[in-house]
Structure 1
């Protein structure tokens, strides 16, 4: 079962990073409408959310929702995503009761990654193909 979780996680990571890479650096501040997160904010939210969902729903460690400020260029946001995915991968690899929150965590990522692909399309960018 752990191998299947890790496989699904790798697919999610690769696709999320491909989506993040597809948006040009100069469009990372793009927001599709007033009051809607920019692409940079959305990618940061995905990274922060991975850690928050991991803590609260996989590790069962109650953690307050307290996102860090959004900062950094495209490369730094990508590193933030990579670090969050690596942390989740380490948690899954360690085993334990990962069933409680793993799929909910991936669902949260998919929800916001879908928003990111819409931002790509609005910018005239065809999103990367989803490989599963």
Structure 2
């Protein structure tokens, strides 16, 4: 009986830590979001507040609109699509609109949104990554939603980098935030 107990104890102590390991995809994605936030904060800080309304072309989003659109999309992808919270309505939302917000307020809102997304993912059940949902008429897993979110952040941040360059500013080196 004692040998069986020791054997069972040994097996449980060996297997349990393996079962409790964090999901590698989620930990990698969380690291990516943390670094993306750091880089985006540097980019947002670099643009002088008086140029936050700058548009590369008349039909493009302004620097501040790109920044806040990243926040809206981060909130929607993480909290609503991945987390299941009711989605904000972009047309009526005021949290992620730059109107009447200072540069500091926008940067703080973006930082808070990244923090909330990361917290959600730290508590997220990795088994749900394979759950599928509708994404603009396409069936996508929650894992794919994470990757789409990363692409979306990069897309709009890239537009912000162009705005910096057209204002004579050299963006911080991205390589430090990979």
TM norm structure 1: 0.90
**Alignment match, 1:104:** 148
Cα deviation code 1:64-97 (max 9, x no counterpart): 5424332211101101110110111011111223
Matched, 1:57 2:81: yes
1:52–1:63 CA contact under 8 A, matched in 2: yes
Range with greater deviation from structure 2 (51-60 or 73-82): 51-60
Pairs within 5 Å for 1:113-128: 113-128=157-172
- CA-atom RMSD, angstroms? 1.6
Aligned-pair CA distance for 1:52? 0.9
**Alignment match, 1:3:** 27
Residue ranges of structure 1 left out of the alignment (5+ in a row) = none
Aligned-pair CA distance for 1:61? 4.6
TM norm structure 2: 0.68
Paired residue secondary structure (1:124):
coil
Aligned-pair CA distance for 1:59? 2.2
1:53–1:105 CA contact under 8 A, matched in 2: yes
Pairs within 5 Å for 1:86-105: 86-96=115-125, 97-98=128-129, 99-105=143-149
What is the alpha-carbon distance in structure 2 between the residues aligned to residue 129 and residue 78 of structure 1? 19
1:52–1:65 CA contact under 8 A, matched in 2: no
Moved over 6 A (4+): none
Equivalenced residues, count: 132
Residue ranges of structure 2 left out of the alignment (5+ in a row) = 1-23, 130-142
